Structure 1
């Protein structure tokens, strides 16, 4: 009520300041004609004085009087023909009254209309005491106090509590940073890593970016049943347009979830939505858990490697992942340099060169990644795995949407060694379609369909691409 009284008082003052000048009585100024007549009368009097002083003769005086009187009559005639002063004054008064009426009605109505749309007039007043009792305010004060204490005496449990408080307040950037601090101080478990990934995702408006995906993957390393990590890893697939893989992961989570799990309704809705977008029946997709780090996918998509390529899937790797991006890059770079130095002492280590290639790829150093992968291929020219590692790097270095020639050449070499390699078959078929050879693409992909299991999450997309080839009936 106090707020409304203030509003009305302010409105009244504003109206008063606007209306008083408009409604004040206007004093009519003399017209131009009246001023001219006064001047002419003075001129007549001046003529009489000049006659008395002998400055004008009778004839001159009569001529001057005649001219002045003529001008005076002309001025009087003009005054009769022009609108009267009263008329002009009345017209001006009507305009001012109209403007005052518009202000008097329009300003209050407009002000309250805008407030009704943009404000919250339905909310009850909140006295200071009730605002002090607001839970969000108390949590904010708690978070600020705890953050101040942790600056003086940092500890892992304190940062974990601070992170959860920030998360509850929807302050996701601060929550993510606090989760990282707790992890870097040794408080490493699947729940903490999943919370970090969720905070990063919500900070980015629901997009599972690479930092978040790595956090969820590390959570799965420590607990492969963590429901949040499994859900968001599926969401990452869906956001990449790989709907069948997303549904496959979510169906696996649905299978393992209790019947009263709070996330189950949302999970089922996501399964139905993305299956509809992908144009397939979700029941036709086999439930499959998220692939571990570095696992090759059947559709040939670039696999996600660990934070340092050859890092062990352990709490050590999770601790590296929990670092801030700048610190993590320095740590990974140091590990990669150490691995490269060891390989100089043991240059025949094929697996080591492959790990080094993936590590450089994780650092986006594709030039060194390619060199390391080519060393592995030279050491084992008849092996498929080194060639696939090289192909991943060649594809990552592509400058356009077309499959690069060196990548296609490597995939053809894989097919020459292993004719039924599903990744090589997919990409060689895609290369044939890209080069305008739909019959060759159809032949390779049709054989790939025969190899893929009926419930493979990659079948729907492959069937769709086959149907889109020119000449398909």
Structure 2
């Protein structure tokens, strides 16, 4: 209710500001008329003094008195209807006042109805903060952390905490600066050096730069088993064209990695791609007979590993296709059957195996 009272007061003030000049009567016309009468009376006195001194004749003096009297009468007649007080002007002033009194509030209501939100409920600050929940709390805390570090740039602990957050947010340059500040003002660790290298690599769009390699090397000096530094240095070998060296580095990393480690699966996928690329390049350089023999050996090796247990959908798909391409239809059907058994708990994988069997004309092997 208070807001409407404020709006009414503002509207009244605006109307008052518009009507105030119209309510005042101008006195400029009276001043002009009074000055004209004084002038003409002075002219009559001048005429009498000129006649007494013999400067003008009696006939000329009479004519001058008649003209001055005519002007004096005309000036006196103007005083009856001074400027601004005539009936037409009074009507115009009243009409203007009425228009302002009606149009200003109406225009204000129309504008507010078009662009305002009269039906929107109140939004108290406390309710908005409570609704924002943890996200709002994190944003406030994060802003306080940044403000604290701006005021205390030598706080190594603060830089250590905020650097991984920058990294997750995709602010790679800020992350690199934060890791570097933590190393500069605090105690060096393998995690900080590897974090700095990763931030520099991601800032370079995945290219392991010289500065990033230096950071990873410093991390390995403090912890030779640091998986993050070892993985990115293997990636650097791959980018240098040393595919076999990169694959060897990843194999050694997997040998030191627990099976349930979160980085184990990405390392395996990378290694599989590297081995496939290296094997393909090597096989392509062999003579035809030797190339076919090498391909059969790779297929048999993959089949033996999958028969021993496990295997992903991609690996089973690769084995089934290879058997079919080599003309080993019965072996391909057996691979389809085994894949169904091993992937029985994955509906999407089973559907993919069925589609592949249909594509390769292996459906008769279905149970």
TM range, normalised to the smaller chain? 0.3 to 0.5
Q: Which has the larger radius of gyration?
A: 2
Compare the two structures and name the one with the higher helix fraction: 2
TM-score if structure 2 supplies the norm length? 0.39
Higher relative contact order (CA 8 A, sep 6+): 1
TM-score if structure 1 supplies the norm length? 0.32
